[in-house]
Chain A
Amino acid sequence: SQKIEQNSEALNIQEGKTATLTCNYTNYSPAYLQWYRQDPGRGPVFLLLIRENEKEKRKERLKVTFDTTLKQSLFHITASQPADSATYLCALLTGGGNKLTFGTGTQLKVEL
């Protein structure tokens, strides 16, 4: 069956450290992968998109990698801040390219 897996346990890190979140998928061959941030009680906000032929994408303190052989994407936040605390969702383009399928998300908590 098709699955998108993100760590269900919250990730707690200290301010200033690099946070690394994982998105693994099975039985998909996505052409695109997106990362979103969601704060409690609010809608997700788009962060980054990476294509299957791109290994890495950066935006300010954010970096995303996409390994189609391992079927995995890693999402990094460098120099993390308490304001980065949120749930981060990965999403794959699926269904023949017609829709996004979301993972369950990983909650990140950045402590002082």
Chain B
Amino acid sequence: DGGITQSPKYLFRKEGQNVTLSCEQNLNHDAMYWYRQDPGQGLRLIYYSQIVNDFQKGDIAEGYSVSREKKESFPLTVTSAQKNPTAFYLCASSSGNGPQETQYFGPGTRLLVL
């Protein structure tokens, strides 16, 4: 099956801890994105990558970091500097011909702070 997988489905973070959310796609897409969704709010862009070994900050990058070492993988690290990390995190990909193209989303990871 082609698609995007995210793991884990639920993740618990302790104070001061860094955690990494996984995102893998087998759609052969060049572009990948990370969004954060809070209750009653729309998706907000954290980071995006249009090609391997390159990525750009989105609207709310502070407290987050990413890497794009492989085309199919775009992990997101939520660092201890992110003071309000509780949210639903969504990874997406697109063909890379531009964000006007359809974005395909993963099932999401819900991050909770202990």
Contacts and interface: CB of A to CB of B under 8 A. Distances in A.
B108 A42 contact: yes
A98 to B, nearest CB: 6
Interface in A7-53: 8, 31-32, 34, 41-46, 49
B87 to A, nearest CB: 13
Interface in A62-106: 89, 91, 93, 97-105
Contacts of B99: 93, 97-100
* Interface size class, chain B: 20 to 34
Contact of A93 (B42, B44, B100, B104): B100
A43 B42 contact: no
Contact of B92 (A43, A49, A103): A43
Interface of A: 4, 8, 31-32, 34, 41-46, 49, 89, 91, 93, 97-105
11 contacts: A34-B102, A43-B105, A44-B43, A44-B103, A93-B98, A93-B99, A93-B100, A97-B100, A99-B33, A99-B45, A102-B43
